[in-house]
Amino acid sequence: MSADGLFLGTESGDDAYREAMDAAVQAVLDAYAARSEPYSGVSPDALAAQFDEPVVPEDGRGLDATVDEVAERVLAHSVDTSHPRCVAHLQCPPMIPGLAAEALLTAANQSLDSFDQAPAATVLEQRVVDALCDLFDFPSAADGVFTSGGTQSNFQALLLARDRHCARRFDRDVQAAGLPADAESLRVLCSEAAHFTAKQAAHHLGLGEDAVVAVPTDDEHRLDLDALDAALSDLEERDAVPFALVGTAGTTDFGSVDPLPALADRAAERDLWFHVDAAYGGALALSDEYDCLLDGIERADSVAVDFHKLFYQPISCGAFLVRDGDAFRWMARNAAYLNPEDHDEAGVPNLVAKSVQTTRRFDALKPYVAFRSLGRSGLADLVDGTLELADDAAALVDAADDFELLGEPTLNAVVFRYRPREGMDDESVSRLNAAVRRELLEDGRAVVARTDVDGVTSLKLTLLNPTATLDDVAGTLDAVRDCASAVAEREVAV
């Protein structure tokens, strides 16, 4: 097999690139043209049966045939994230500037670990990070790095928090010497509605999930301050030592935003690292109308923000920002082949020391292209529009006799239950809503999320699509009703 037509920079390669990209683009457009529902409804077994041929055949079939095969077996059975009735998760329709950026950055294949692997990309990522620090009103000493998303950003936050604390309190260099003997006393505080990655990070950091104290929430699913104060006193009595407080700006189920200014006060009083998980809600910083929801975020020690959610960028794309860039020293290391110390002295920017990754994608190009092409106001309009649609959708659910709205949306998540009869008991409601969700996925007419509220199975619409309308929401609710009827008919038949 020759390398002919396989690599850029040769005549045959350039032609092959153009043809391959055209074929890929055409396959995507054909898949959209052929689809009317957000999912084909095909079962896991039927999907598995499509891939019974060897993944690694002895001889290749060529690219054209393979792209056709991917179109037929993968694209046709993917959830259509751009469909207005695809409303389950924080999985956005990717915006076209982001898709163009993705094509540019993949072809350039820069790796952000060292300057010599990504000269302009290194400088540009830093510029985008600086702009994000400005967006969150961080001081000039702030810094950050692009991440795979909120999981990695939250992990980095607790890593820096833990190591700063251990240095101050135990004079312990965790990077070199590992956890101190007293590590069992360390605690992280967050609300019970915080993302599960707080616990996951505590596990990965050797503290264990039990180190995370989940503080109860108030009626609007925000961290309850009285409960926080009680938890802090309780820890003190038990000689447990909190070192970090995590506030969430946009919880997964209800989109609620914790009282950030009060959390910043508590963190300052107790010398806690204050991390704001704004993976979901960070985009509110763009909006003139909703940015007040993030008041207090500028006092955080660190912020997690995702671009593959309300910023409409293709997966994956997130950033981790720290108020004092010097804090990266808790994780920095020098590798002779990437960022030798004399580079640091000569001012060569190597971003590897700020990341838990080594080879790293140039994901910063996606928000850059989006910001430059749409401007802040263009992006803010998208965010505002989806939040308004969520309000209208909640009103629609509330007005319907057979639906039960579970709270006004803060952001763009609408949580509700299908409850066709007043007085239907919670256990039956749970069973029905779980069955409806399954039926919806098999039917493919709407992709809706399921969650648990106060022990009762509930449904959730995450309205991320700026092209969706209230009619689309009504269509999703009708799909819920139809699936509930189908479930009921089957049960009668059994």
Ligand X SMILES: *Cc1c(COP(=O)(O)O)cnc(C)c1O
Query: Which of 248, 386, 465, 476 forms a contact with ligand X (CB under 6 A)?
Result: 248
Q: 156 vs 350, which CB is nearer to ligand X?
A: 156
CB of 310 to ligand X, least distance (A): 10
Contacts of 184 (CB under 8 A, 6+ apart): none
Q: Does residue number 277 form part of the binding site for ligand X (CB under 6 A)? A: yes
Q: Does residue number 81 form part of the binding site for ligand X (CB under 6 A)? A: no
CB of 307 to ligand X, least distance (A): 9
Query: Which of 94, 98, 144, 150 forms a contact with ligand X (CB under 6 A)?
Result: 150
Q: Does residue number 279 form part of the binding site for ligand X (CB under 6 A)? A: yes
Query: Which of 81, 111, 126, 151 forms a contact with ligand X (CB under 6 A)?
Result: 151
Q: Does residue number 306 form part of the binding site for ligand X (CB under 6 A)? A: yes
CB of 116 to ligand X, least distance (A): 29
DSSP 390-414: HHHHHHHHHH-TTEEE-S--SSSEE
Query: Which of 197, 410, 458, 465 forms a contact with ligand X (CB under 6 A)?
Result: 197
| Residue for token pair 């006393």 | 185
Query: In terms of DSSP bridges, do strands 403-405 and 413-418 run parallel, antiparallel, or are they unpaired?
Result: antiparallel
CB of 149 to ligand X, least distance (A): 2
Answer whether 258's CB lies under 8 Å from 248's CB: yes
Query: Which of 85, 164, 195, 437 forms a contact with ligand X (CB under 6 A)?
Result: 195
Q: 318 vs 325, which CB is nearer to ligand X?
A: 318
Q: Does residue number 280 form part of the binding site for ligand X (CB under 6 A)? A: yes
Q: Which amino acid is located at 37 in the chain?
A: E
Element (DSSP H or E) covering residue 456 = strand 456-462
Q: What is the number of helices (H) and of strands (E) in the chain?
A: 14, 11
Q: Does residue number 250 form part of the binding site for ligand X (CB under 6 A)? A: yes
Q: Does residue number 252 form part of the binding site for ligand X (CB under 6 A)? A: yes
Q: 250 vs 407, which CB is nearer to ligand X?
A: 250
Count of residues near ligand X by CB under 6 A: 15
What are the beta bridge partners of residue 453? Answer: 456
CA distances from 8 to 5, 16, 32, 133, 458 (A): 8, 8, 29, 36, 51
Q: 94 vs 318, which CB is nearer to ligand X?
A: 318
Q: 31 vs 161, which CB is nearer to ligand X?
A: 161
CB of 306 to ligand X, least distance (A): 5
Answer whether 338's CB lies under 8 Å from 118's CB: no
Answer whether 274's CB lies under 8 Å from 260's CB: no
Write 474-481 long-range contacts (CB < 8 A, 24+). Answer: 474/396, 475/84, 475/85, 475/446, 476/85, 476/87, 476/446, 476/448, 477/396, 477/397, 477/400, 477/403, 479/85, 479/440, 479/443, 479/445, 479/446, 480/418, 480/436, 480/440, 480/446, 480/448, 481/402, 481/418
CB of 194 to ligand X, least distance (A): 7
The angle formed by the CA atoms of residues 261, 454 and 198, to the nearest 5 degrees, is 45
Which strands, in side-by-side order, build the sheet including 241-248? Answer: 143-147, 318-322, 302-306, 273-278, 241-248, 186-191, 212-215
CB of 135 to ligand X, least distance (A): 18
Q: 149 vs 325, which CB is nearer to ligand X?
A: 149
Q: Does residue number 318 form part of the binding site for ligand X (CB under 6 A)? A: yes
Among the listed ranges 115-123, 168-176, 248-256, 414-422, the one in contact with ligand X (CB under 6 A) is: 248-256
CA–CA dist 366, 308 (Å, integer) = 10
Q: Does residue number 149 form part of the binding site for ligand X (CB under 6 A)? A: yes
Burial of 200 (0-12, 13-18, 19+ CB in 10 A): middle
Q: 314 vs 444, which CB is nearer to ligand X?
A: 314
Q: 183 vs 278, which CB is nearer to ligand X?
A: 278
Of 82-101, binders to ligand X (CB under 6 A) are 90
Among the listed ranges 1-9, 40-48, 53-61, 145-153, the one in contact with ligand X (CB under 6 A) is: 145-153
Q: 252 vs 386, which CB is nearer to ligand X?
A: 252
Query: What does the binding site for ligand X look like in residue numbers (CB under 6 A)?
Result: 90, 149-151, 154, 195, 197, 248, 250, 252, 277, 279-280, 306, 318
